């Protein structure tokens, strides 16, 4: 399968999980989704990542986003691992972990990188919008844990820029100033959309307060 790219439709699948059978598009419904893969169960970095995801349940819910993990181990191993995650990370894992023993999902989403490992998935992340479109991807090596603050930051940016004609600058966080997109040139529309005004650093670089704050 060729590599999935931004703007592609996220492939649908049916797979077993710690929450029973998952029919992906149906399960996702009208939510945003973070689909993220793990090299294997009972590994230290993955344990911290899944614990962090569980701890951020309120933050994901506030963004109408559903996390779902995938590993190539079977369901019974996942269930035993969840007990370890809850115990060592002082949390409760309440999102599904796909049991991808047949590598159906790993192959669909190109999560096996043979030069890194022929059997284990790399740390892939797919941020998928309610229309099932892939909006962001990250790929990390097995040795490096993901930054979930960054994942949430990207979701904030995507949701904001979908609603308003803005882009978010370097190191932007929710509440910071944003950039008016260069394609928006009509003065009346700019005044209507951005009543707080803007600062034109250059004709193409116009800074304005975040419009929904």
Residue 5 lies in a domain: no
pTM greater than 0.85: yes
Number of domains in the chain: 2
What range does the domain containing 110 cover? 14-145
Cβ atoms of 95 and 67 within 8 Å: the answer is yes
Provide the CATH number for the domain around residue 48. 3.40.30.10
CA distances 104 to 57, 59, 134, Å, are 27, 29, 18
pLDDT grade for 118, boundaries at 50, 70 and 90: very low
Query: What tens digit of pLDDT does each residue of 121-145 get?
Result: 557 999 999 999 999 999 988 889 9
DSSP assignment of 145-207, as one string?
Answer: ---HHHHHHHHHHHHHHHHSSEE--TT--TTS-EEE-TT---HHHHHHH-TT--EEEETTEEE
Q: Domain end: 117, 145, 173, which one? A: 145
206 belongs to the catalytic site: no
Residue 197 lies in a domain: yes
pLDDT at residue 172 in the model: 98
State the catalytic residue, choosing from 46, 120, 127, 179. Answer: 46
Q: What percent of the chain has pLDDT over 70?
A: 94
Provide the CATH number for the domain around residue 174. 3.30.1020.10
Please indicate, yes or no, whether residues 69 and 141 belong to a single structural domain of this protein: yes
Query: What tens digit of pLDDT does each residue of 156-194 get?
Result: 999 999 999 999 999 999 999 999 999 999 999 999 999
């Amino acid at each position: 399968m060729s590599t999935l790219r931004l703007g592609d439709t996220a492939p649908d699948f049916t797979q077993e999980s710690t929450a029973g059978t998952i029919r992906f598009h149906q399960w996702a419904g009208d939510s945003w989704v973070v689909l993220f893969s793990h090299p294997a169960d009972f590994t230290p970095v993955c344990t911290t990542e899944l614990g962090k995801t569980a701890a951020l349940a309120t933050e994901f819910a506030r963004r109408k986003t559903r996390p779902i993990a995938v590993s190539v181990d079977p369901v019974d191993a996942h269930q035993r691992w969840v007990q370890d995650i809850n115990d060592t990370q002082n949390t409760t894992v309440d999102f599904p972990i796909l049991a991808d023993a047949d590598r159906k999902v790993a192959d669909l989403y190109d999560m096996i990188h043979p030069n890194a490992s022929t059997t284990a998935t790399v740390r892939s992340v797919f941020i998928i919008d309610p229309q099932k479109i892939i909006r962001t991807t990250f790929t990390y090596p097995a040795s490096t844990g993901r930054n979930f603050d960054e994942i949430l930051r990207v979701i904030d940016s995507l949701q904001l820029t979908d609603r308003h004609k803005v882009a978010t600058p370097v190191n932007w966080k929710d509440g910071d100033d944003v950039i008016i997109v260069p394609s928006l040139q009509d003065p009346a529309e700019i005044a209507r959309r951005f009543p707080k005004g803007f600062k034109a650093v250059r004709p193409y670089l116009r800074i304005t307060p975040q419009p929904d704050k």
